[in-house]
Amino acid sequence: CLQRAGSLTEARDAFARALVETRGAGRDAAWVANVDLMLGNLDSAQAHAQLAVANGAAPSGHAILAQVANTRRDWALAALKD
């Protein structure tokens, strides 16, 4: 797995391709969000986490949104329910 090998940019690109192929599936959006978070791309991580929540991967999406909010110290984002 590219993610475990430390090739986060390559892993993110692979997950992004899967996201396009699955037309925005929540699970794939959550993977992109997670790698974006690891890369420090907080805007993209937030956007993909919100897509994950909207498309069936709410637990993963909410967890990533919480991490983004914590990193930014954005307590308004942290308080969002959906």
Q: What is the pTM of this model?
A: 0.77
Do 11 and 1 contact (CB within 8 A), yes or no?
Answer: yes
**Would you say residue 1 has pLDDT above 70?**
no
DSSP state of 80: -
> pLDDT tens digits for 15-70?
777 777 777 678 888 988 999 999 999 999 999 999 999 988 888 999 999 999 99
Question: What is the total residue count of the chain?
Answer: 82
DSSP state of 48: H
